[in-house]
Structure 1
Amino acid sequence: MPESRGEQPWVDERAGRLVRPYTVSDGRTRPTSEFNLLTMVMATGAEPAEYPGPDHCRILELARTPVSVAELAAQLRLPATVVKVLLSDLVDLDVVTTRDPAPGTPDPTDPDLLEAVLHGLRTRL
Protein backbone atom coordinates (compact mmCIF):
# COMPACT_ATOMS: atom_id res chain seq x y z
CA MET A 1 0.00 0.00 0.00
CA PRO A 2 1.58 3.30 -1.03
CA GLU A 3 2.37 5.73 1.75
CA SER A 4 1.24 9.31 1.58
CA ARG A 5 3.95 11.90 1.00
CA GLY A 6 3.87 13.04 4.61
CA GLU A 7 4.56 9.54 5.94
CA GLN A 8 7.75 8.96 3.98
CA PRO A 9 10.92 9.85 5.91
CA TRP A 10 12.71 11.42 2.93
CA VAL A 11 9.80 13.58 1.74
CA ASP A 12 8.59 16.87 3.13
CA GLU A 13 4.99 17.85 2.33
CA ARG A 14 5.92 21.34 1.10
CA ALA A 15 9.54 20.95 0.01
CA GLY A 16 9.18 17.60 -1.73
CA ARG A 17 11.93 15.00 -1.77
CA LEU A 18 14.69 15.95 0.70
CA VAL A 19 17.36 13.70 -0.82
CA ARG A 20 18.48 14.33 -4.39
CA PRO A 21 18.16 11.36 -6.78
CA TYR A 22 21.89 11.08 -7.46
CA THR A 23 22.45 10.76 -3.71
CA VAL A 24 20.08 7.78 -3.56
CA SER A 25 22.23 5.93 -6.12
CA ASP A 26 25.55 7.05 -4.55
CA GLY A 27 26.22 9.22 -7.60
CA ARG A 28 26.05 6.26 -9.99
CA THR A 29 24.22 6.85 -13.25
CA ARG A 30 24.61 3.50 -15.01
CA PRO A 31 23.04 0.25 -13.86
CA THR A 32 25.10 -2.96 -13.94
CA SER A 33 22.12 -4.83 -15.47
CA GLU A 34 19.95 -4.06 -18.49
CA PHE A 35 16.37 -2.89 -17.91
CA ASN A 36 13.78 -1.01 -19.90
CA LEU A 37 10.63 0.65 -18.63
CA LEU A 38 8.54 -2.46 -19.29
CA THR A 39 10.90 -4.90 -17.55
CA MET A 40 8.95 -6.76 -14.87
CA VAL A 41 10.53 -7.01 -11.43
CA MET A 42 9.64 -9.33 -8.56
CA ALA A 43 11.21 -9.85 -5.15
CA THR A 44 12.51 -13.37 -4.56
CA GLY A 45 11.66 -13.32 -0.87
CA ALA A 46 15.32 -13.78 0.07
CA GLU A 47 16.78 -11.43 2.66
CA PRO A 48 19.67 -9.25 1.47
CA ALA A 49 23.02 -10.13 3.07
CA GLU A 50 23.41 -6.47 4.05
CA TYR A 51 20.98 -3.58 4.54
CA PRO A 52 20.74 -2.04 1.06
CA GLY A 53 19.09 1.28 1.96
CA PRO A 54 15.60 2.74 2.38
CA ASP A 55 14.80 3.07 -1.33
CA HIS A 56 16.03 -0.45 -2.01
CA CYS A 57 13.77 -1.71 0.78
CA ARG A 58 10.82 0.21 -0.67
CA ILE A 59 11.45 -1.50 -4.04
CA LEU A 60 11.42 -4.88 -2.30
CA GLU A 61 8.06 -4.00 -0.70
CA LEU A 62 6.56 -2.87 -3.99
CA ALA A 63 7.93 -5.89 -5.85
CA ARG A 64 6.18 -8.49 -3.71
CA THR A 65 4.04 -8.93 -6.81
CA PRO A 66 5.35 -8.35 -10.34
CA VAL A 67 5.74 -4.67 -11.13
CA SER A 68 7.30 -2.79 -14.06
CA VAL A 69 10.32 -0.51 -13.81
CA ALA A 70 8.07 2.38 -14.90
CA GLU A 71 5.61 1.69 -12.08
CA LEU A 72 8.43 1.49 -9.54
CA ALA A 73 9.78 4.83 -10.71
CA ALA A 74 6.32 6.38 -10.39
CA GLN A 75 5.72 4.92 -6.92
CA LEU A 76 9.15 6.00 -5.67
CA ARG A 77 8.92 9.40 -7.35
CA LEU A 78 12.40 8.91 -8.76
CA PRO A 79 13.76 9.10 -12.30
CA ALA A 80 13.72 5.73 -14.05
CA THR A 81 17.51 5.89 -14.46
CA VAL A 82 17.97 6.03 -10.68
CA VAL A 83 15.50 3.18 -10.17
CA LYS A 84 17.43 1.08 -12.70
CA VAL A 85 20.64 1.63 -10.69
CA LEU A 86 18.86 0.61 -7.48
CA LEU A 87 17.37 -2.43 -9.20
CA SER A 88 20.78 -3.51 -10.47
CA ASP A 89 22.00 -3.41 -6.85
CA LEU A 90 19.13 -5.71 -5.87
CA VAL A 91 19.80 -8.05 -8.80
CA ASP A 92 23.45 -8.25 -7.72
CA LEU A 93 22.23 -9.20 -4.21
CA ASP A 94 19.95 -11.91 -5.71
CA VAL A 95 16.86 -10.50 -4.00
CA VAL A 96 14.89 -9.61 -7.15
CA THR A 97 14.31 -11.30 -10.46
CA THR A 98 13.54 -9.55 -13.72
CA ARG A 99 11.78 -10.52 -16.89
CA ASP A 100 11.84 -8.67 -20.18
CA PRO A 101 8.54 -7.85 -21.85
CA ALA A 102 7.03 -10.62 -23.97
CA PRO A 103 8.24 -10.75 -27.57
CA GLY A 104 5.95 -8.72 -29.79
CA THR A 105 5.15 -6.21 -27.03
CA PRO A 106 4.86 -2.83 -28.73
CA ASP A 107 7.59 -0.29 -28.07
CA PRO A 108 5.99 2.33 -25.79
CA THR A 109 8.05 5.06 -27.45
CA ASP A 110 6.91 4.19 -30.99
CA PRO A 111 5.52 7.43 -32.49
CA ASP A 112 2.80 5.56 -34.42
CA LEU A 113 1.62 3.83 -31.25
CA LEU A 114 1.63 7.10 -29.29
CA GLU A 115 -0.33 8.81 -32.06
CA ALA A 116 -2.91 5.98 -32.04
CA VAL A 117 -3.27 6.26 -28.25
CA LEU A 118 -3.68 10.03 -28.49
CA HIS A 119 -6.32 9.60 -31.22
CA GLY A 120 -8.17 7.06 -29.08
CA LEU A 121 -8.13 9.36 -26.06
CA ARG A 122 -9.41 12.31 -28.07
CA THR A 123 -12.18 10.13 -29.47
CA ARG A 124 -13.28 9.03 -25.99
CA LEU A 125 -13.14 12.51 -24.48
Structure 2
Amino acid sequence: MRQEPLEGPWLDDDAGRLIRPYTVSNGRTKPTSQFDLLTLVMATGDRPNNYLGPDHSHVLKLCGGPVSVAEIAAQIAQPAVVTKVLLSDLVDCGAITSRAPGRAPLGNDPTDRDLLEAVLDGLRRRL
Protein backbone atom coordinates (compact mmCIF):
# COMPACT_ATOMS: atom_id res chain seq x y z
CA MET A 1 0.00 0.00 0.00
CA ARG A 2 1.45 3.35 -1.05
CA GLN A 3 1.51 6.06 1.60
CA GLU A 4 1.28 9.78 1.00
CA PRO A 5 4.61 11.66 0.96
CA LEU A 6 5.74 13.34 4.18
CA GLU A 7 6.70 16.62 2.52
CA GLY A 8 5.65 17.51 -0.97
CA PRO A 9 5.57 15.30 -4.05
CA TRP A 10 9.28 14.39 -4.00
CA LEU A 11 9.42 12.50 -0.70
CA ASP A 12 7.97 9.04 -0.16
CA ASP A 13 7.74 7.23 3.20
CA ASP A 14 9.20 3.99 1.88
CA ALA A 15 11.60 5.19 -0.80
CA GLY A 16 12.75 8.47 0.77
CA ARG A 17 13.70 11.32 -1.51
CA LEU A 18 12.58 10.48 -5.04
CA ILE A 19 15.09 12.77 -6.75
CA ARG A 20 18.58 11.33 -6.45
CA PRO A 21 21.43 13.62 -5.34
CA TYR A 22 23.32 13.81 -8.63
CA THR A 23 20.14 14.69 -10.48
CA VAL A 24 20.19 17.94 -8.47
CA SER A 25 23.65 18.79 -9.82
CA ASN A 26 22.91 17.54 -13.36
CA GLY A 27 25.35 14.69 -12.80
CA ARG A 28 28.27 17.02 -12.11
CA THR A 29 30.66 16.05 -9.33
CA LYS A 30 33.28 18.79 -9.63
CA PRO A 31 32.46 22.33 -8.47
CA THR A 32 33.99 25.22 -10.41
CA SER A 33 34.95 27.00 -7.15
CA GLN A 34 37.04 25.70 -4.28
CA PHE A 35 35.16 25.00 -1.04
CA ASP A 36 35.83 23.00 2.06
CA LEU A 37 33.21 22.19 4.66
CA LEU A 38 34.11 25.24 6.75
CA THR A 39 34.01 27.74 3.88
CA LEU A 40 31.54 30.53 4.64
CA VAL A 41 29.13 31.64 1.93
CA MET A 42 26.78 34.62 1.85
CA ALA A 43 24.31 36.06 -0.62
CA THR A 44 25.44 39.21 -2.45
CA GLY A 45 21.93 40.48 -3.09
CA ASP A 46 22.38 40.05 -6.85
CA ARG A 47 19.95 37.71 -8.52
CA PRO A 48 21.07 35.19 -11.15
CA ASN A 49 20.28 36.30 -14.72
CA ASN A 50 18.85 32.87 -15.53
CA TYR A 51 16.67 30.68 -13.35
CA LEU A 52 18.90 27.92 -12.06
CA GLY A 53 16.30 25.66 -10.44
CA PRO A 54 14.50 25.04 -7.17
CA ASP A 55 17.54 23.59 -5.40
CA HIS A 56 19.63 26.63 -6.25
CA SER A 57 16.82 28.90 -5.02
CA HIS A 58 16.60 26.96 -1.76
CA VAL A 59 20.36 27.19 -1.21
CA LEU A 60 20.34 30.91 -2.02
CA LYS A 61 17.65 31.51 0.62
CA LEU A 62 19.87 29.80 3.20
CA CYS A 63 22.74 32.18 2.41
CA GLY A 64 21.18 35.28 3.99
CA GLY A 65 24.01 35.53 6.50
CA PRO A 66 27.41 33.86 6.64
CA VAL A 67 26.81 30.12 6.70
CA SER A 68 29.17 27.18 6.27
CA VAL A 69 29.07 24.71 3.41
CA ALA A 70 28.58 21.90 5.95
CA GLU A 71 25.53 23.60 7.44
CA ILE A 72 23.94 24.13 4.04
CA ALA A 73 24.57 20.50 3.08
CA ALA A 74 22.87 19.39 6.29
CA GLN A 75 19.90 21.69 5.79
CA ILE A 76 19.25 20.60 2.21
CA ALA A 77 19.99 16.94 3.04
CA GLN A 78 22.45 16.51 0.17
CA PRO A 79 26.01 15.18 0.04
CA ALA A 80 28.72 17.81 0.42
CA VAL A 81 29.91 17.42 -3.19
CA VAL A 82 26.41 18.11 -4.55
CA THR A 83 26.12 21.13 -2.25
CA LYS A 84 29.49 22.43 -3.47
CA VAL A 85 28.35 22.14 -7.11
CA LEU A 86 25.17 24.11 -6.34
CA LEU A 87 27.17 26.75 -4.46
CA SER A 88 29.74 27.05 -7.24
CA ASP A 89 26.91 27.71 -9.72
CA LEU A 90 25.73 30.53 -7.46
CA VAL A 91 29.26 31.94 -7.16
CA ASP A 92 29.68 31.80 -10.94
CA CYS A 93 26.57 33.92 -11.49
CA GLY A 94 27.49 36.40 -8.72
CA ALA A 95 24.63 35.50 -6.37
CA ILE A 96 26.89 34.50 -3.47
CA THR A 97 30.42 35.11 -2.26
CA SER A 98 32.63 32.68 -0.40
CA ARG A 99 35.37 33.07 2.15
CA ALA A 100 37.77 30.33 3.15
CA PRO A 101 38.06 29.73 6.87
CA GLY A 102 40.91 31.49 8.61
CA ARG A 103 43.73 29.38 9.89
CA ALA A 104 44.63 29.73 13.53
CA PRO A 105 48.35 30.02 14.17
CA LEU A 106 49.68 26.82 15.63
CA GLY A 107 51.82 27.02 18.71
CA ASN A 108 54.07 24.28 20.00
CA ASP A 109 51.11 21.94 20.38
CA PRO A 110 48.62 21.92 17.47
CA THR A 111 46.07 20.08 19.67
CA ASP A 112 44.96 22.65 22.23
CA ARG A 113 43.43 20.59 25.04
CA ASP A 114 41.22 23.46 26.24
CA LEU A 115 39.76 23.91 22.76
CA LEU A 116 39.17 20.18 22.31
CA GLU A 117 37.46 19.95 25.71
CA ALA A 118 35.24 22.94 24.87
CA VAL A 119 34.20 21.29 21.60
CA LEU A 120 33.51 17.99 23.38
CA ASP A 121 31.47 19.79 26.04
CA GLY A 122 29.42 21.55 23.36
CA LEU A 123 28.75 18.28 21.55
CA ARG A 124 27.65 16.58 24.77
CA ARG A 125 25.19 19.38 25.50
CA ARG A 126 23.65 19.07 22.03
CA LEU A 127 23.30 15.29 22.26
- In the superposition, the TM-score normalised over structure 1's length comes to 0.77
Q: CA deviation at 1:10?
A: 3.0
Q: CA deviation at 1:112?
A: 9.5
User: Aligned pair 1:79/2:82, yes or no?
Assistant: no
3-state SS of the aligned residue for 1:97? strand
RMSD across aligned positions (CA)? 2.8
Rg larger for? 2
Q: Which residue of 1 aligns with 2:49?
A: 49
Runs of 4+ in 1 over 6 A off after TM superposition: none
CA distance in 2 between partners of 1:35 and 1:105 (Å): 21
CA distance in 2 between partners of 1:22 and 1:54 (Å): 14
User: How do 1:89-104 residues align onto structure 2 when only pairs under 5 Å count?
Assistant: 89-104=89-104
Q: Evaluate the alpha carbon distance shift between residue 8 and residue 101 of structure 1 in structure 2; reply closer, same or farther with a 3 A threshold.
A: farther
User: How do 1:1-125 residues align onto structure 2 when only pairs under 5 Å count?
Assistant: 6-104=6-104, 116=116, 120=120
CA distance in 2 between partners of 1:22 and 1:36 (Å): 19
Bigger CA drift: 13-22 or 59-68? 13-22
* Counterpart residue type for residue 95 of structure 1: A
Q: How many residues align?
A: 113
- In the superposition, the TM-score normalised over structure 2's length comes to 0.76
Q: Evaluate the alpha carbon distance shift between residue 12 and residue 92 of structure 1 in structure 2; reply closer, same or farther with a 3 A threshold.
A: same
Q: Evaluate the alpha carbon distance shift between residue 95 and residue 120 of structure 1 in structure 2; reply closer, same or farther with a 3 A threshold.
A: closer
3-state SS of the aligned residue for 1:41? strand
3-state SS of the aligned residue for 2:89? helix
Q: Which runs of 5+ in 1 are unaligned?
A: none
3-state SS of the aligned residue for 1:6? coil
CA distance in 1 between partners of 2:98 and 2:47 (Å): 17
